[in-house]
Amino acid sequence: MAWLWRFLFGYLTIKIYGDFGELLLNKAAKNGIKIWNLSYSKGVITGNILIDNFFKLRNIRHGTRCKIKIHKRHGLRFFTNKYKNRIGFFIGLLMFCGVLYALSNFIWVINVEGNEKLTTKEIISSCKKIGIYEGVPKTKINSKYDSQRLQLTQAGIAWCSFNIEGSVLTVNLSEIAVSDKEERKTPSNIKASFDGKIKKINIASGNVVVKVGDTVSKGDLLVSGVIQNHSSTLFVYSDGVITAETTRTFSAKGNYEQKILTETDNIIKRYTLNFFNLNLPLYLGNIKQQHNYNVNIKHLTLFDNKIPIKIACEKYEILQESTVIYDKETLKEILYSDINRQVSDFNFINIIEIKNEILETEKGMLLNVTYSCEENIALQDKILLNTQN
């Protein structure tokens, strides 16, 4: 610690000239004046001394026939003196400290620990959904409440906690032990995905709140995932099939003359530097042609620790536009295949009736297909927690 003391209060490198330098050193030692790193070269003694002791040494040098000269000045005191007229330097130093203090109130790096099956990207994405991301103020993080919200948002988490160290947030978690066949499930209700009349109820878990014969509208609660026990409240994943009679109409519209986009070999790469969540594009201009876009982000590390600097590589695949003219039959086939694609998204249990309607439009045709059918209208809806804290 002596070096720190000497640096803060300043010290001098002095040169002692004269034939009786050792006499002066003896006097200094007797008077408690500390001189260190003494060396002798060509009749001159060089050593280091504290500033206060230097003045004492000057007072006791009489009678030794020695001359003392300051060779170098060291320490913070002289460093600041050197720059005392440079106000900008001190303003810069103050601003640096201020900015450093301000930035230390934010989260700049998020680390995830304890994940095996879930990817770090998935968890960081879930954190973002609940308002925890790189650049969020530390005060906005309520560890207890947010860890519960993360459990509800991201399926497969048995337990998690948030630990903040400086500007680094570490998400510690343990995953639910599930077999490969079993799906990761989050607590949820079942709501109606479409208007209909309930025909059959087949529930594996959850609390059923409707009965067969009921007419329900889209969004109505069918099965609740909140089960009140004697002493506690359980949140469960509601599972089951609710069959209802529904009527759905699918439409597809197309022109005889259509513009289609085809991929080309022209691929443009552009880089962006993300510095403390501030995006700095490393390119000029923008791409006006139609394109497919994908981005690859690389997080920079220093000594195996992530730092809040990222480099994003954006890839633009340029598309070419061309015009195609279809005849009536071909267009009809395209529209039917479009309807089939829409229908394939639904898992109809039983189709009762199908009605087709083709309308000629000014430039093409409109196809309406109405399905009367039985389908599963159970729609999973995650349970959201709400708190004042």
Partner 1 sequence: MLNTQIIKGSHIEIFSNKTLILEECYGMVDYRENYIKLKLKKGFINLLGTNFLISEFDNNRIVINGNISSLEFCV
Gap between the Cα atoms of 167 and 139, Å rounded: 12
Q: Name the minimum Å distance from CB 2 to partner 1.
A: 11
By the rule CB under 8 A, 33 interacts with partner 1: yes
By beta-carbon proximity to partner 1, the closer residue of 26 and 105 is 26
**Contacts of 154 by beta carbon, 8 Å cutoff, 6+ apart:** 118, 122, 123, 126, 186
* DSSP SS3 for 3: helix
Residue span binding partner 1 (CB under 8 A) among the ranges 34-42, 80-88, 137-145, 149-157:
34-42
By the rule CB under 8 A, 139 interacts with partner 1: no
Binding residue for partner 1, selected from 39, 85, 388, 389, defined by CB under 8 A: 39
> What are residue 104's DSSP bridge partners?
none
By the rule CB under 8 A, 5 interacts with partner 1: no
Report yes or no: 372 and 345 within 8 Å, Cβ to Cβ.
no
Binding residue for partner 1, selected from 5, 9, 17, 36, defined by CB under 8 A: 36
Report yes or no: 45 and 38 within 8 Å, Cβ to Cβ.
yes
What's the gap between Cα 117 and its chain centre? 19
By the rule CB under 8 A, 29 interacts with partner 1: yes
**Contacts of 284 by beta carbon, 8 Å cutoff, 6+ apart:** none
Q: Residue 185 is encoded by which pair of tokens?
A: 């499930």
Q: Indicate if the alpha-carbon torsion angle 161, 163, 167, 168 is positive or negative.
A: negative
Residue span binding partner 1 (CB under 8 A) among the ranges 22-30, 132-140, 198-206, 378-386:
22-30
By the rule CB under 8 A, 3 interacts with partner 1: no
By the rule CB under 8 A, 173 interacts with partner 1: no
By the rule CB under 8 A, 32 interacts with partner 1: yes
Binding residue for partner 1, selected from 45, 190, 244, 331, defined by CB under 8 A: 45
Strand order across the 67-74 sheet: 44-50, 11-17, 67-74
Binding residue for partner 1, selected from 9, 26, 140, 279, defined by CB under 8 A: 26
125, HSE (Cβ side, Cα atoms, 13 Å)? 7
By beta-carbon proximity to partner 1, the closer residue of 34 and 67 is 34
Binding residue for partner 1, selected from 21, 196, 225, 254, defined by CB under 8 A: 21
By the rule CB under 8 A, 50 interacts with partner 1: no
52 — phi, psi (to 5°)?
-60, -40
By the rule CB under 8 A, 88 interacts with partner 1: no
List b or e across 3-22, with b for residues whose CB sees 16 or more CB atoms inside 10 angstroms.
eeebeeebbbebbbebeebe
Q: Name the minimum Å distance from CB 76 to partner 1.
A: 23
Length of the chain, in residues: 389
By the rule CB under 8 A, 40 interacts with partner 1: yes
One-letter identity of residue 249: T
By the rule CB under 8 A, 37 interacts with partner 1: yes
Q: Which residue has the tokens 């990817």?
A: 119
Q: Which of residues 332-351 bind partner 1 (CB under 8 A)?
A: none
By the rule CB under 8 A, 1 interacts with partner 1: no
> Burial level of 157, CB count in 10 A (0-12/13-18/19+)?
buried
> What are residue 97's DSSP bridge partners?
none
By the rule CB under 8 A, 25 interacts with partner 1: yes
By beta-carbon proximity to partner 1, the closer residue of 36 and 90 is 36
**Contacts of 320 by beta carbon, 8 Å cutoff, 6+ apart:** 261, 262, 263, 264
How big is the site for partner 1, counted in residues (CB under 8 A)?
19
Residue span binding partner 1 (CB under 8 A) among the ranges 41-49, 117-125, 133-141, 316-324:
41-49
Residue span binding partner 1 (CB under 8 A) among the ranges 30-38, 145-153, 330-338, 349-357:
30-38
By beta-carbon proximity to partner 1, the closer residue of 72 and 298 is 72
DSSP annotation of 34 reads: -
By beta-carbon proximity to partner 1, the closer residue of 39 and 286 is 39
Q: Name the minimum Å distance from CB 42 to partner 1.
A: 8
> What are residue 369's DSSP bridge partners?
250, 356
Residue span binding partner 1 (CB under 8 A) among the ranges 38-46, 156-164, 184-192, 202-210:
38-46
Q: Which residues contact partner 1 by CB under 8 A?
A: 21-22, 25-26, 28-29, 32-42, 45, 47
